[in-house]
Homo-oligomer: A and B are copies of this chain.
């Protein structure tokens, strides 16, 4: 069992909120794209990783938690889907390095060990 948490208030670095005040936040667009792809996830306002948006969390009981950033909804959706599947297929949340897309390798913000029972 795994859970994906998506920050809906993230902005990509360089995003200009004054250009179109009605534009969706980048994180909300990422969430919408994941929903369109059929990926269940929890929407969360602000994961306090604002400097490294868009950010998501992968977690689950008995698994390592990964905080991933640097995700561009227009560019990185396929790579994120690859990572979500690989994370889900793992037993402990650790995806072998060779199976991690480049954007995941380069933008791991933190990893947290599973709670010991």
Interface residues of A (CB under 8 A from B): 3, 5, 42, 44, 46-49, 55, 57, 59, 65-67, 108-113, 115-116
Q: Which residue of chain B has the shortest Cβ distance to A61 in the bound complex?
A: B115
Task: Tell me how many chains of this kind the complex includes.
Answer: 2
**Whole-angstrom distance between the Cβ of A86 and the nearest chain B Cβ:** 16
Contact of A112 among B67, B108, B115, B116 (CB under 8 A): B67
**Whole-angstrom distance between the Cβ of A98 and the nearest chain B Cβ:** 17
A49 contacts B115, C-beta separation under 8 Å: no
**Whole-angstrom distance between the Cβ of A27 and the nearest chain B Cβ:** 13
Given contact pairs A44-B113, A48-B110, A112-B112, a sample of 4 additional A-B residue pairs in the complex whose CB atoms are under 8 Å apart: A5-B112, A48-B108, A59-B115, A67-B110
